[in-house]
Structures are given as C-alpha cells and as structure tokens.
Amino acid sequence: MRLAAVSAEAAALGLSPGLTLADAHVRVPQLHAIDMDRNADRAWLEQIADFCDRYTPLVAIESDDTLILDITGCAHLFGGEQAMRNDVMARLTSVAPHLRACIAGTPQSASAQARYGTIDIIAPGENSRAASPLPVSALGIDKEIVIALCRAGLKTVGDLALRPRGPLAARFGPDILDRLARILGEEDIAITPRRAPPPCSVERRFAEPIGNTDDVLGILGHLLGEAAKTLERRGSGGRIFIASFFRVDGHVARIQVETARPARDADAMMRLFQERIDALSHPLDAGFGYDLVRLSVPVIEPLKPAQRSLDGQTVQQDQVIALIDRLGARLGQASVQRLMVCDSHIPERAACAIPAALAPQTIPKLKSESVFQPVPDRLPPRPLHLFAQPQPVETLAEVPDGPPVRFRWRKVLHEVVKAEGPERIAPEWWQSLDPDETGRTRDYFRVEDRHGHRFWLFREGLYGQETRDPRWFLHGLFP
C-alpha cells in the first residue's frame, strides 16, 4: 500500500505521495492514514463542478483534483477577473480549504500556475514570463523525463524554453514541445466541457438568496417564457429542458423534463416541471435559499408554427402527446411505452416496448394505417399476455409430440379439453450449433381447459432427438 495523497502537515514532515505506507509509518509513527475512496472523491469533484456551472457553461474536469473553467466572455458579469476569482475563493474555501485558483490565457498555463506557482492572475502576453520559474514537472510529463531533464540541468520551464526545440523533440519526443507551447501560451486548445454548452440558456441571479420554493418556481415560469421567445425567434422548440437551482451553500438541484416532440409553450412546460417536481423522491429543499436559477435547453429541434386542421385531429394528437409528456414527466419517459412487433420468430423476441416519447412520428396515427395489419389467416394466434420467462409446468402428454392431456400450473390442475398444435418453432440455429446457447426446438400448443381458460404451452426439445425428457412450459395466456 502506498500513499496516494498527503496533507500539508504531512508534506512538511517529509512524506510524499508514492511512499509505501510501511515506510511512512516508520518515519512518522503517529501517522493517520485513511483508505482512499476514488468514487467519493470523484463525486465531490463533480459536486464542485456543478457549483462552478454558475460561472460558465464550460466546465471541464481535467484530472482527479483539477477543474478547468473556460471563462471567456463571462468575467465581466462578475465584475472582472479579479472579482470573479475572489468570488470563487470566497464561496469554495469553506468546502475546499486547500483550494488554489489561477486565471490564465490557456488551460494548461492556469493549471500549472495553480499547482506550482504563486501568481493568481496572468495578464495577457505574460504567460511565458509567468511560466518560466515553474519546475519542469509542471509540464505534466513522465517522471523519467523529469529526472532526465533535471540531470541535464534543465530544472525550470524557463530553462527549457530557452533551449532549441529540435534537439528536445529528438531526445524526449514531440509531446514535450506541445506541452511547452501550451504552458507558455503559444498554443491554445479548447477544453472538453462536462456538458456541451446548451444552444439556449437563460438564468436569473438574485441579490439575496430566496428561501421560498414557490417563488423560485415562479421565476422558473418567467425563464420559460424568455426561453420560449428565444426559441420562437430561432423557429425551434426544445426536446429537453433542464432547470438548475443553485443553492447558496453550493448544492445544485437539476430537474430535467423531456418532451415527445419539440415544444416551447411556457405554460405547458411549467406544468411538466410541476409534475416532475411533485414526483421527486427528495422534494426541492431551499435550505439557506437559492441565489441563481438557470434554465437550459440542451436539445432543440426545428418547430414550425403548424396549421390547425379543421377537423380537430391535430388538436387531439397534440393532446395525446401532451398526455404522454405529462405521464413521462411524472413516471419517467421509459414508463410510457408503445408496443412494437419485431422481426423475429422467437415469441419472446417478437415484441418490444419503446418509450412513446421516442417515436412521436408514429404515435397515435389516428387512421389505422399500420404495417402490421391483423392477418389472422397468416399469423398463428398469439396470446394477449406473454410471460417474459416461460413458466415450468408439470404435464401429462402423449409422446412423442402430442398435446398435453392435463397440466399443473401454480398448484392448480388444468384438464385440457381442446388443443391446437403443435406449431413448431425452431431455435436460431444459425447463431450457434450448441443447443445450450440457442435453446431447443419448441412445439407450441394452444389449449383450453374445462373451465374455458386458454393457455399457450410448449414442449422444449424434440422427444428422442434433442432430449430424452422434454420439459413443458407455459408461455402465455389467451383471453
């Protein structure tokens, strides 16, 4: 076991990450070591990143301990770079006491300065001068290369920058030159934000935190109205709407609603948000109050003003889609489903359910123009209810392939008086020759017992060819 991270006090005692735990205990007997929990660390960093969404939509997690915020064009909203940095430090030092922050022209320059340097804000054009006193390890290169550079007397970035670059690349590879260029501000690459910046985003900041959830939801209504105007100007509608409530203590509640087709009507969207909020397992907790509410629309699609047809069918279709949205907002989109027929002859694979919101173009076709017209002559009858897992039954049946005479299902004996079959369904033999993988041939029977209950039973395996002792299953129930 090795040390993964050390506190400032431990570092002062000479401990460093990478040291074995046994060695560390020898050096500092009273050492207090805690198991590392990467997931918790990550979650905590994500939480801080969520908090940082208030400064800019472009927040990236660079490594296990670094966040990069692209504040291009955002700083003036907070009264300049210095004020913005002060705000970050003031708000975050309570949660992250060892926080260091630096504003610079390139992400690498800022991150190296925050880790190894002392400068808070690097003015434009000052990158190379600010970076020169930093140690070469600030480049983020392998340890071996750092050691090799130090042995050659190149201890700082400044030393390296003065050298001709050709020999450096020849000795240590082209990667080091890219890193050097980025840290010196000669090259700028874009960061990869955690979330893509939404095409439409509106927000409202409050001078004082608001503790009343209803008031905050009222603000959300206003924001939806503003977003609707923006979307209308662009001739588009949103498919996903996310409301983020930033609490003063750093907690961020994100509530997402999806719609079955592009929408921008503020009242309708507010109703969906209300449904979603009502259905939350942890209701919105204002705590010390919210100081920022943001509404972002990450997915937008063209939405043309539609002409209403005179027979009112469009209105009805709209109502059905609105109903799907409301149910989806309350129960989750995956719970509102449309049943589809799939192209497979294996009964359990012949059907699937897809979220109704994902298939708006085929949803309630008001005229019956389905591809899958009921064709009872062609399609053998299928049960109305199908068990996902066929249920084993004890059966008395004729060998080799007769219908069951009686069978016991859920402890009740059913005596078969009518039967139809077998309908032989072969396994997917082209997938594999091993019957354990593909399953065995099934002979399906549609049977009716004395009381008029109708079942769909099958025998798995051909008697004498595939198995000696075929088993019987109940797979479905007919009305």
Partner 1 sequence: MTYNTNTALHHLRYQLKALEQRWQQECRTCGDTVDDRYADAIPLGIEKVDQALKGGLLPGALHEAWTASTVEMPALSGFGGAIAQLLHTRLKQPIIWVRQSKAETEAGLLYAPGLISFGLDPDQLITVRTKTFAELLAAGLEAARCNAVAAAVIEAWDNQGTLDLTAARRLSLAVEKSGATAIILRVCPTPPPSSAITRWHIASAPSQSLAANAPGYPAFDITLQRNRNGHAGQCWRVEWNHDDKCLQQAKPLSRSGISVSERGSSEAGDRHAVQRHHQFYGQRARMSG
- The residues of the shown chain that bind partner 1, judged by CB under 8 A, are 315-320, 322-324, 326-327, 330-331, 335-341, 347, 350-353, 356, 362-368, 370, 372, 374, 376, 379, 381-388, 410, 412, 417-420, 446-448, 450-454, 476-479
Contact assessment for residue 426 and residue 447, using Cβ atoms and an 8 Å cutoff: no
Nearer to partner 1, 317 or 467 (CB): 317
Residues composing the chain? 479
Does residue 384 sit in helix, strand or coil?
A: coil
Q: DSSP letter for 403, please.
A: P
Through-space distance between the first and last CA atoms of the chain, rounded to whole angstroms: 64
Report the nearest approach of partner 1 to the CB of residue 478 (Å).
6
Nearer to partner 1, 194 or 454 (CB): 454
Measure Cα distances from 258 to 294, 329, 431 in Å: 16, 7, 38
Q: To which residue do tokens 């960061």 refer?
A: 191
Q: What is the C-alpha to C-alpha distance for residues 405 and 385, in angstroms, rounded to an integer?
A: 22
Label residue 266 left, alpha or beta by phi (over 0 means left) and psi (-120 to 50 means alpha).
Answer: alpha
* Axis crossing angle, helix 38-52 with helix 81-92, rounded to the nearest 10: 140
Nearer to partner 1, 166 or 376 (CB): 376
CB neighbours (10 Å) of residue 311?
9
Nearer to partner 1, 198 or 383 (CB): 383
Q: To which residue do tokens 């095409």 refer?
A: 199
Nearer to partner 1, 65 or 318 (CB): 318
Nearer to partner 1, 185 or 421 (CB): 421
Report the nearest approach of partner 1 to the CB of residue 452 (Å).
4
Report the nearest approach of partner 1 to the CB of residue 386 (Å).
4
Q: Where are the alpha helices (DSSP H) in 93-174?
A: 107-116, 127-131, 143-151, 157-162, 165-172
Report the nearest approach of partner 1 to the CB of residue 273 (Å).
16
Sign of CA dihedral 77, 78, 81, 84: negative
Report the nearest approach of partner 1 to the CB of residue 406 (Å).
14
Label residue 125 left, alpha or beta by phi (over 0 means left) and psi (-120 to 50 means alpha).
Answer: left
Q: What is the C-alpha to C-alpha distance for residues 422 and 429, in angstroms, rounded to an integer?
A: 20
Report the nearest approach of partner 1 to the CB of residue 362 (Å).
7
What is the Rg, in whole angstroms, of the alpha carbon atoms belonging to the chain? 33
Report the nearest approach of partner 1 to the CB of residue 221 (Å).
21
Nearer to partner 1, 203 or 448 (CB): 448
Report the nearest approach of partner 1 to the CB of residue 442 (Å).
15
Q: Which two tokens stand for residue 63?
A: 């490594």
CB neighbours (10 Å) of residue 330?
15
Nearer to partner 1, 85 or 414 (CB): 414
Report the nearest approach of partner 1 to the CB of residue 383 (Å).
5
Nearer to partner 1, 79 or 332 (CB): 332
